[in-house]
A and B are shown apart, each in its own frame.
Chain A
């Protein structure tokens, strides 16, 4: 079953603008991660935020986590055409003794040059 739900499902912006993607989830988590998937490629890990963290930065990426609302947001600043991809949030929690990484449905970002 898929836990994360990204919002919006698709976003189209101009190069240089900021892109914000939201993710909501349902159960308790150890951490939440964001991945990028370019068309026809595998997933690339972008950033991980632990359940006891509220905000994290990595380059042009900023992730926030609100465990009380069970939601996270990914902000990409000064977007580039190369940021065009699908973005997935994934929650990481212990279930049945194995480490389960549960992905959302993803959000398609298009950055127009």
Chain B
């Protein structure tokens, strides 16, 4: 079974630039999550989708971050404009509907460096 795919794996940009990350979840997984993991910390949930609807975006900085999952499959996370403190690894995860934790599969992440 293919895992969660993310691209790019690494991205370096200057502050105030824009950047977008892509995630392809495991086939059949209706729930998709984006996490931000700052160096030395645990992942923090940014947004959770159920199919193409947003379930939780309470910790998403909506003034600069946006995410979409138009067809209920792939998702993109965008930052515009980026700040230095956005440097982090952005992890995408997916799970089946109604599962709790153990069936949440994580992608390898995209490491963003903002200069």
- By a beta-carbon cutoff of 8 Å, the part of chain A in contact with chain B is 2, 4, 30-31, 33, 40-45, 48, 88, 90, 92, 96-106
Contact, CB under 8 Å: A103 / B100: no
User: Chain B: interface secondary structure?
Assistant: loop
User: Chain A: interface secondary structure?
Assistant: strand
CB of B25 closer than 8 Å to a CB of A? no
Contact, CB under 8 Å: A98 / B44: no
Contact, CB under 8 Å: A4 / B45: no
Contact among A41, A45, A106 for B101, CB-based, below 8 A: A45
Taking CB as reference atom, which chain B residue is nearest A101?
B101
Contact, CB under 8 Å: A106 / B4: no
Contact, CB under 8 Å: A104 / B42: yes
- 19 pairs from A and B in contact (CB 8 Å cutoff): A2-B41, A31-B101, A41-B108, A42-B91, A42-B93, A42-B106, A42-B109, A43-B93, A48-B100, A48-B101, A88-B42, A92-B101, A96-B58, A98-B48, A98-B56, A100-B56, A105-B40, A105-B42, A106-B40
Residues of A near B4 (CB, < 8 A) are: 42
